[in-house]
Structure 1
Amino acid sequence: MSSAAETPLTSSFVSLITPGVRRAVLLTDDGVRIEAVYEPCTAGVGETAVVIAHGFTGSVERPAVRRAAGVFAQYAAVITFSFRGHGSSGGRSTVGDREVLDLAAAVRWARSLGYGRVVTVGFSMGGSVVLRHAALHGSAHGGRTGARIDAVASVSAPARWYYRGTAPMRRLHWVVTRPLGRLVGRFGFRTRIHPEDWDPVPLSPVESVPLIAPTPLLIVHGDQDPYFPLDHPRMLAGAGPAELWVERGMGHAENAADEALLRRIAAWLVAG
């Protein structure tokens, strides 16, 4: 990535789709600086850009994110970014709340690069963020055209907040809610976590789903997910128009998504 061109913090709209890999620092609506990377489609110029939202403790540099980006780039242009508090982005993680603003900044960047069709795919925490973002910025919401999206895929997402029904989620809540846990997050996982509780509690993923239509929605979940059992994707898919894929033998999020699944998701997103 060291050879990538630098993009300024703010950029004007360009009518032609921009060639070449670019790095950018994006500014969110609440003033947080977010690192982002643009990669053109390796199969040639197309009109679609895929924005990838990683899971908690991820970043643009994580191997699983780079692997997913490489697969998606065979179908469309790709934008990856690090959520606030992750990687080289500023701010602190709010674990799915204000991260919607980070995604909106990445989507606006895709639009500014000339892509007429922008779709999102999110994993775990990112899966909840793409759902909430789509509820606010889906194709039906023309008033927010800068961050409008045309299709959304949510992978390994929770349906509801504060879930502690599995051992991995109890460990995650310890990391997020305890001072010692946040130190572990900062130095062990390179994730800086905001110490304050949500106020107000944001719209939950399952509450977001009914607001997404008519934007096409795909829910993907593994039947061996150690974090969220299958009642989560079933709740999401049952809350509004959505296609549900339950993947046999799959674990959790981008680390568990193999190339074949990533290709299927990419094809679904590009086909719209």
Structure 2
Amino acid sequence: MRRASSEHKLVFMPFAPNFPVMLRTEDGIRIDAAHTPSARTDLGIVVAHGFTGSWRERPARRIVHVLSGYGGVIAFDFRGHGRSGGESTVGDQEILDVEAAVRHARVVGYSKIAVVGFSMGAAVGVRHAGLRGGVDAVVAVSGPARWYYRGTKPMRQVHWAIEQPFGRWAARVAKRTRIARGRWDPIPMPPHEAAALISPAPLLIVHGDADAFFPLEHAHQLYAGAREPKELWIEPGYGHAETAATPALIRRIGKWISSNFS
């Protein structure tokens, strides 16, 4: 484990060109995605956004642009988000969405695949790698270690949006996020248990000490649950997920991914 610092100066730059694609999951959900090629043609990086996010939003596009300097990038919208079909199950069936993106990365010719997930996308990326496999590295940024966490005000608000009819309506109208009704049955394996199943693929856990959604205990629980090879970066001053991620931090993540396949 190492403690690292990140730059907080945002650098705005033209975005790398991307090519929209439409994917189809094993259970028939249409997934809106985009492929951003890279000079490095053997490495594909799948980017999984957080809850209510989208690959079309500026923070995610900035992340894709930076990561495309290290490999080709497949970014997508989870089910129930943006232009994708279906309804969000908030981390359960979303592993099928990641599987569709990974499968597409293989089809277009990438021999090595890394998944980089943010918040909900981090939980899904860890669960996908543990339960489905087929990836060569995983990066979990600002991810939860367990379900039903309500220890912070933002997470209590998230649960309200998921559980209450008016909350689901607000998420649909304000964030273009359609949330499935009802409770999980059965409850999916939590990320900290799935993390134990990722090895021998390397796992990088990145978490900020200023995260307003999930405190550092989540990062430590994920790290404790995982087997080697694993690494934990605690980022001073870093908040939560895509919106707080600086280009400097994303470059370091890109370098970490690239170093595992050099």
TM-score w.r.t. the length of structure 2 is: 0.91
Structure-2 separation of matches of 1:243 and 1:156: 14
Match runs of 1:254-265 below 5 Å: 254-265=242-253
Which one-letter code corresponds to 2:184 in the other structure? W
Matched, 1:250 2:247: no
2:88 and 2:179 in contact (8 A); partners too: yes
Match runs of 1:1-272 below 5 Å: 21-41=18-38, 44-138=39-133, 148-240=134-226, 241=228, 242-272=230-260
Deviating 4+ runs (over 6 angstroms): none
Tell me the SS of whatever aligns to 1:52: strand
Structure-2 separation of matches of 1:25 and 1:100: 17
Tell me the SS of whatever aligns to 2:70: coil
Structure-2 separation of matches of 1:60 and 1:239: 29
2:70 and 2:254 in contact (8 A); partners too: yes
Structure-1 separation of matches of 2:225 and 2:55: 31
Structure-1 separation of matches of 2:186 and 2:257: 32
Q: Once the 2 structures are TM-superposed, how far is the Cα of residue 57 of structure 1 from its aligned partner?
A: 0.5
Structure-2 separation of matches of 1:271 and 1:108: 23
Tell me the SS of whatever aligns to 1:181: helix
TM-score w.r.t. the length of structure 1 is: 0.87
Aligned Cα root-mean-square deviation (Å)? 0.9
Structure-2 separation of matches of 1:21 and 1:237: 34
Aligned length: 242
Structure-1 separation of matches of 2:33 and 2:41: 20
2:40 and 2:70 in contact (8 A); partners too: no
Q: Any gaps of 5 or more consecutive residues in structure 1?
A: 1-19, 139-147
Quote the sequence identity (%).
Answer: 52
Q: More relative contact order in 1 or in 2 (CA 8 Å, sep 6+)?
A: 2
Q: Any gaps of 5 or more consecutive residues in structure 2?
A: 1-16
Which one-letter code corresponds to 2:258 in the other structure? V
Structure-1 separation of matches of 2:54 and 2:42: 26
